[in-house]
């Protein structure tokens, strides 16, 4: 799908639309997206949203019942002042956790800033932040820039330069020892209609990926 989006289900399955891959640009950019979605699971955001939604729905119906048409306005104000700010806090928290996750996993944390910069430049309609479930792309870019020092320190202390140096040798070894049936060409991800198995299979994200669909991880 051409939509620039990714999301995670309550069971931990992460879905990534192909439309976001050109924005990711490379594996580091994809790691930024996956780190953010995994962070939602680690922080139990889905459970928080469900627990907050129940009293919100009850209050909304109560306002509509008591105030009629004014109740709809009151419920919208409730959404703007309580529900949306709480969701934005969760998104910011997932950004912070995801940044540290990708740095510790030896992906370049600077890719997060590049990702949000690309998202900011590519957005066509900019919804006021107070009406959105997410912080603005520009604010997220600034927030991640301010936290880069800590993430880069974690990256350096995790021995990532040594680890990344082994990646070309590792992928070459996989292709060398894989049989003809196991050796796979570079692919963009795991498609929900069919998984790829075997020691010879690895994933490469290409910025010119034009295939439609969703990938899950």
Active-site residue, 156 included: no
Residue among 37, 93, 123, 214 flagged as catalytic: 37
Phi, psi (degrees; rounded to nearest 5) at 203: -110, 135
Sorted by sequence, the CB contacts under 8 Å of residue 93 that are 6+ apart come out as 39, 43, 45
Report how far apart, in Å, the C-alpha atoms of 192 and of each of 10, 17, 51, 172, 215 are: 17, 11, 30, 27, 6
State whether the Cα torsion 67-69-74-76 is positive or negative: positive
Just list the catalytic residues: 37
């Amino acid at each position: 799908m051409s939509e620039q989006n990714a999301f995670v289900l309550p069971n931990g399955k992460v879905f990534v639309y192909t439309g976001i891959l050109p924005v990711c640009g490379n594996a580091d950019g994809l790691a930024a997206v996956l780190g953010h979605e995994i962070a939602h699971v680690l922080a139990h955001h889905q459970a928080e949203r469900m627990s907050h939604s129940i009293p919100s729905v009850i209050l909304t119906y109560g306002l509509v019942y008591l105030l009629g048409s004014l109740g709809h306005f009151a419920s919208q104000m409730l959404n703007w002042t309580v529900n949306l700010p709480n969701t934005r806090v969760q998104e910011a928290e997932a950004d912070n956790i995801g940044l540290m996750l990708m740095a510790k996993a030896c992906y370049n944390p600077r890719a997060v800033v590049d990702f949000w910069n690309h998202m900011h430049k590519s957005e066509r309609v900019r919804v006021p932040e107070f009406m959105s479930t997410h912080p603005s792309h520009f604010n997220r870019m600034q927030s991640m820039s301010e936290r880069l020092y800590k993430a880069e320190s974690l990256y350096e202390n995790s021995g990532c330069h040594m680890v990344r140096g082994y990646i070309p040798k590792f992928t070459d070894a996989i292709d060398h020892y894989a049989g003809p049936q196991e050796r796979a060409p570079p692919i963009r991800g795991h498609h929900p209609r069919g998984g790829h198995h075997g020691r010879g299979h690895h994933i490469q994200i290409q910025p010119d990926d034009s295939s439609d669909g969703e990938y899950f991880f």
